[in-house]
Amino acid sequence: MHESAHAVEGEPDGLTFSPDGGWLAWNQPRGERSAALVLARLDDGLPTGDLVQATSGRFRDFSPAFTADGRYLAFLSSRTFDKVYDVHAFEMTFPSGTR
C-alpha cells in the first residue's frame, strides 16, 4: 500500500487502471461542485513521480475510463448551461457548454 495523494477537498473516486497497468486515473473533488481528473504513472504498481492533473477542475469531471488500447482517457463532465449574450454573433451562447 502506498499513499500517492492526500485528499484536501474530499475523497478520490472512480479509480481506474489503464489496460497495461501503467496509469491510474481518478476524479479528485476540488470544491463543492467541481472535480478534476488526476493521473499517476505506475511502475510495478507504485507511483513513479508527480501526479498529472488531466482536467482543470473548473467543472465536475468524473467516471474516467481508458479506451481498450489505453491511448485515450474518456470521462463524463457535469457543466452548466448559463447563457450569455454574444456581441459578435448577436445571439445567446453557452460558453461553458460541453463540446
Q: Per the structure, how many domains does the chain have?
A: 1
Q: Is 75 exposed, middle or buried (0-12, 13-18, 19+ CB in 10 A)?
A: middle
Query: What percentage of the chain reaches a pLDDT higher than 90?
Result: 47
Average pLDDT, the chain: 83
Q: Which amino acid is at 48?
A: T
Tracing cell 448551461 back to the chain, one arrives at 81
Is residue 74 domain-resident?
no
Selection from 52, 55, 88, 63 nearest residue 13 by Cα = 63
Q: What is the pLDDT of residue 55?
A: 94
pLDDT class of 94 with cuts at 50, 70, 90: low
Q: Which residues, in sequence order, are bridge partners of residue 16?
A: 25
Q: What is the pLDDT of residue 37?
A: 96
Is residue 29 domain-resident?
yes
Work out the average pLDDT over 77-82.
Answer: 77
| Model-wide pTM > 0.75 | no
Is residue 71 domain-resident?
no
Whether 5 shows a pLDDT value over 70: the answer reads: no
